[in-house]
Structure 1
């Protein structure tokens, strides 16, 4: 079951349901069958916001001392890697006084690193889904609360390879997630929360340096440059502002922002959300920076007429002029205004599409005015 949502641009997109909602609904159906011998189908479950969707069961099995129900997850129009996954809950009676306990079945990960909302050794069933499961069970069990709930996801270990779970130290499968119970297509909040969890794990591991990258190419380049472990790498994407604001209150001594020339130009021009929907880089502004740092008037005019930022950088390089240092310095200034603390040194690294180093603004305490005055950009070897 899904419901329609509307994006700001007016395009209708179907909303879907989180893995937490599916686990809660399947647990409720299984618990009802364990107590009564009959599976409710469809099964209704309450969400944190008060909604009460109903779900058809894909599988049901009643044994001598357990009941199992499964639901196929519908993520709506979101490109969620768990869309179509079979999520099942097996419910057994627990020890008297044990309350509701949780177990990771096949395809659900186990936490192996500190820093997450769950302790090491716990099944990766997040706090809100646990609350939803407990509430769903209480609807059919009343005052009886001693149950073991084992959540499984068919093929979950393979699906988890497409997520950040391995980097976060969640091994053996996916996580059971959700804070509202609803999947909003292309949700920025979900991505930003994953960045925050990456910072939490890095801090818990005692790391002193993290790197947020706009994409895979810059991530590989910054990891090689600084010899960073995987856990220090933050899949920042376009959300540099979301990463920096969280780091301001959850500090790490050294922070690197790495990206390509186009994204870093947008950061240099004051944008903290680098998605194309939020705006494009200003080529007139880029030409102005070039002029102020020593480019010829003729080159500046060609930059204004460039097809893309990458094209502008290419034309500058062909003219023997390096745009990168000035852009790195300006990007540093934008990011440093968010951190603004002497306890965190900030670095900007710019790479091209092949991962080749272009420019840097070196590590400098982020409460300083700027890492250095970029001045005129250094010349490159001109083509002859």
Structure 2
């Protein structure tokens, strides 16, 4: 039994859907398959725009229609029979989305309403995949992942109820898998009172890992537009190398530092059951890709990771006394309440600095919360955080050359710096 996860780029066009079906037919032959599907192309971004307009009380009909047209045009290329059931199913889903947008009432939680609307992207794409596989002669069934991945109501970053989810998945899905391919959604889960939650942006990898863990899968595959797990993003580095094989631990650290290929929460459930993860190219499905598993290497190629849109925040006590554990406790409590994640931190005698992803709304709330106490706060935005794992002096010099460094930190294996 294998879990395949297909991201947005692998379902962005009619040709992409045909390629997906070809991969399932050829690479998945002889296996029981569960497919986890992301929203098509940039649909999540499009739905975020529609939702933000609706939440602000502004017109959104044009943007919503563009999203609807994008999906229907692709469906028309895939299904020439205008009476095919996929059309009725998509109309029903879009009506549900319109109802959610029309039901927005302030001051309901932004994050809660976000989850109810933006989650429709995965419902659209998985519906089309299931019907297209059937049209191609494969037996496939669609399931609603919100009924199987149960979470709490931490909107936009829901926490999974593992015991409940594993029990229901093991109860219902093995018998289905023995008969047909299962198609479901990434990114989304559900509460026990039937509200939709999301697992964090790019959370479809994590969804696939949840299903793989609960089903004791033989392996999980992520199909990307790259040849495997690379040591750097090709957008920034021209001389990237592919890791043929890499350990769970190395991959977890790379994901934590911001490597975009794998969602940070993906590896832990797989490592707990020693389920190998293969990162493969949907453009070259027979290529070797990368195998992530329980292995060890004395030396591997340095990994270069860049996080954009960073904010460097420095806290100091107004009366110039030392930063104490009590001060740090106050700061960490505020960060936790506002769900601000620390990407890098460093303290001196009279200041404490952190680097985080920039979010204007949360930053202003942090300033309001802590400036009322004893802290003076300074910050810089529009920064980059560079992380180099398994570094050597040559790659440090090459990466830092010509940059204005605001903060740097190193351990035996990892070097990080924040620059303008």
Q: TM-score range by the shorter chain?
A: under 0.3
Larger Rg: 1
Structure with the larger helix share: 2
Structure 1 length normalisation: TM-score?
0.25
Structure 2 length normalisation: TM-score?
0.23
